[in-house]
Amino acid sequence: MIMKTHTQKEIKDFLELLNLKYYNLSKKYETYYWDSYMGDPSVDDMLRDSLIKRDSFTASKKHLDKVREMILSANKTNKARLGYWEHFFETNQIPQDVLTIRKEISDLENKIAADKNNRKEGYIHPHTKKFIKAPMNQMYMIRATNSDEKIRKAVHMTIESYADDFVKELVELVALRNTFAKELGYEDFYAYKLHVEERMTKEELFSLFDDIYDQTKFAFKDVRKMEKNMPGLTKPWNYGYMLSGDFTHEEDQYYPLDEILERWGMSFTRCGIDYAGGELKLDLLERNGKYNNGFCHWPKIIRYVEGKRIPGEARFTCNATYGQVGSGDIAGNTLFHEGGHAAHLLNSCMEDVCLNHEYPPTSTAWAETQSMFLDTMFSSIEWRTKYAKNKDGKPYPLDLFKRKLEKLHMLSPLGMMGISSVMYFEKELYEMKKITEKKVRDLAKDIHKRFSAQEGTSLRSLNTPHIYSFQSACSYQGYGLAELALSQWRKYFYDTYGQIVDNPQVGKEMKQVWKIANSKTFPEMITIATGKKLSAQAYLESALATKEKSISIANKRIETLSKNRSRKNVINLKANISMWHGKKKVCDNKKSFEDMTQKYAKWLETQKIK
């Protein structure tokens, strides 16, 4: 075959075309996505249509071939850029003959989703014997907070019974997904997802998590010892309820929702984190018809036109209900977590849009490292003692921190078990020889035994929504890896500067790695950010710290923060920010950030539940 040669001008024009095409396709899709998820179903057909158009671009064989042909005549700069696009198209390729399997998988997933949506969710009230309608999320909440053990138990038994609803379909799904992955040259579906998302092998991943399991499982015995003082603790319908106690109520006063925007703005400003000239749209309150989970997305990805950087736009949301216990904490966590995702990709200085978006080959683990690093800052004791104040100006008391630690410290080593249980369940599910429904149920029960302190058998792994969707199946390791990475990054910052909250060096260094967006793999990024290869060491160090050590670390960090006060008192996030409630614009920061927060607080009063 004769390969055509290309001039550098032709290559640049082609790159410009790819960038413009993908930018526009993505913008269209994401804009409908926001409207639909904020509660406007009239755009749903357009949303579906724009997704098909976007996906047919990302899976284009024609573009991949052209990129490969052009690489042969490219100079160094253009070669690197074409390399990013080659990787992008490669990752998203689905050969014609595999497309039919992919379609079968989608059809089955849609059927499961529809059946689940039509499931009449709720429980039989133990006292009235009447059916109480309640979606899954609400039932989890009742199990964790209702003071009546009989109700908690009834709800638990219902949740448990739902776990068995789609075992038959899951068996089919696993077989199909494995065939799909094998056709693409992978050992199984887990190996395929792990490679596409994190460029890692199962051996690399699970050697890290095997080690964590071995070093932390001793704490299951401690929980059983705890049961002596808390009879019934390990019953699944008591566990969360008895442990979380009244802390949520007691903490609530320190997170007034109407002040949380300002605390976020001030804290990011002092940390040197900003949005590089971009635009932010925020919609924080719960509403009928609105999607029931927080997220961040980018209708305008960072791009370059004729060498000039064009700032992007991110939007993020959560479901806080003003006046409900815990709402300020939910909103605060969202501003730090989703606001961290937004800052990450809005700070990119890479010319090619395929590096500046959230989809494969972008690493889930690396993305979550940014957001979880920042929400960990929000939940840190030194942040709380400085920023979390009640209406009388009294800061979060150290005594509350100590009482909580006293009660819950024993569980600290088990912090990864929930994430690990999903990872191991899916790994072993896709490795299963001659899969049957019985084997799947047995595996779920075995996982429960290995990863939970609760007594009895349970199929709860099968209630994990992620396992039923192509995009989120076999992706849970992203959270686990992010947990390790952020611990390593925190350790690096504490070792180097002694301080994270209000430390401008933190923002400076984060922005440095955000500049290169997703041009490197997750393991490479960790080495660049922390100077060390990814390991579980920092995570284990903090998970296994003794009570005394945790208190002395907290004291030290509070003291360092109070010694190094930031002189910055004007919030500047370098962004045009607007606050929304569905289609209604509440206010913006055109005048100033403070003006926006005041207007928002005033409007919030009209939304307060009685």
By the criterion CB under 5 A, which residues form the site for Zn ion?
Answer: 371
Q: How far is the CB of 333 from Zn ion (least distance, A)?
A: 11
Strands 122-124 vs 131-133: parallel, antiparallel or unpaired? antiparallel
Q: How far is the CB of 464 from Zn ion (least distance, A)?
A: 17
Instruction: Please choose, from the candidates 569, 31, 75, 581, the residue with its C-alpha nearest in 3D space to the C-alpha of residue 287.
Output: 581
Instruction: Please say which residue, 201 or 379, places its beta carbon nearer to Zn ion.
Output: 379
* Cβ-proximal residues to 492 (8 Å cutoff; 6+ apart), any chain: 529, 530, 531, 532
Instruction: Please say which residue, 63 or 490, places its beta carbon nearer to Zn ion.
Output: 490
Instruction: Please choose, from the candidates 1, 16, 8, the residue with its C-alpha nearest in 3D space to the C-alpha of residue 70.
Output: 8
| Structural tokens at position 338 | 């989703």
* Cβ-proximal residues to 391 (8 Å cutoff; 6+ apart), any chain: 253, 256
| Structural tokens at position 50 | 């724009």
CB 215 within 8 A of CB 544: yes
DSSP summary character for residue 460:
G
Q: How far is the CB of 316 from Zn ion (least distance, A)?
A: 10
CB 563 within 8 A of CB 551: no
User: Is residue 314 packed enough to be buried (19+ CB in 10 Å), middle (13-18) or exposed (0-12)?
Assistant: buried
Instruction: Please say which residue, 27 or 297, places its beta carbon nearer to Zn ion.
Output: 297
Neighbours of 263 (CB within 10 A): 23
Q: How far is the CB of 340 from Zn ion (least distance, A)?
A: 8
Q: How far is the CB of 450 from Zn ion (least distance, A)?
A: 27
Q: How far is the CB of 295 from Zn ion (least distance, A)?
A: 8
Instruction: Please say which residue, 371 or 597, places its beta carbon nearer to Zn ion.
Output: 371
Instruction: Please say which residue, 478 or 523, places its beta carbon nearer to Zn ion.
Output: 478
Instruction: Please say which residue, 371 or 385, places its beta carbon nearer to Zn ion.
Output: 371
Q: How far is the CB of 376 from Zn ion (least distance, A)?
A: 12
Instruction: Please say which residue, 371 or 578, places its beta carbon nearer to Zn ion.
Output: 371
Instruction: Please say which residue, 457 or 464, places its beta carbon nearer to Zn ion.
Output: 464
Relative orientation angle of helices 364-379 and 327-346, to the nearest 10 degrees: 140
3-state DSSP helix/strand/coil percent for the chain, to nearest 5? 65, 10, 30
CB 418 within 8 A of CB 411: no
CB 363 within 8 A of CB 200: no
Strands 308-310 vs 303-305: parallel, antiparallel or unpaired? antiparallel
Q: How far is the CB of 283 from Zn ion (least distance, A)?
A: 17
Q: How far is the CB of 361 from Zn ion (least distance, A)?
A: 18
Q: How far is the CB of 226 from Zn ion (least distance, A)?
A: 32
Instruction: Please say which residue, 323 or 465, places its beta carbon nearer to Zn ion.
Output: 465
Instruction: Please say which residue, 371 or 487, places its beta carbon nearer to Zn ion.
Output: 371
d(CA 458, CA 520) in angstroms, rounded, equals 40
Instruction: Please say which residue, 143 or 344, places its beta carbon nearer to Zn ion.
Output: 344
Tokens 């993908």 — which residue? 22
d(CA 314, CA 299) in angstroms, rounded, equals 6
Within 263-378, strands assigned E span 278-285, 295-300, 303-305, 308-310, 313-320
Relative orientation angle of helices 8-37 and 44-58, to the nearest 10 degrees: 150
CB 258 within 8 A of CB 331: no
Instruction: Please say which residue, 258 or 368, places its beta carbon nearer to Zn ion.
Output: 368
Q: How far is the CB of 375 from Zn ion (least distance, A)?
A: 9
Q: How far is the CB of 268 from Zn ion (least distance, A)?
A: 17
CB 526 within 8 A of CB 533: yes
Residue with the CB atom nearest Zn ion in the bound state: 371
State residue 286 phi and psi, 5-degree precision: -65, 150
Instruction: Please say which residue, 333 or 452, places its beta carbon nearer to Zn ion.
Output: 333
State residue 305 phi and psi, 5-degree precision: -120, 120
3-state secondary structure of 602: helix
Q: How far is the CB of 248 from Zn ion (least distance, A)?
A: 22
Instruction: Please say which residue, 216 or 371, places its beta carbon nearer to Zn ion.
Output: 371
| Structural tokens at position 2 | 């004769």
CB 339 within 8 A of CB 263: no
| Structural tokens at position 601 | 């607080």
Tokens 């299951």 — which residue? 220
Q: How far is the CB of 299 from Zn ion (least distance, A)?
A: 18
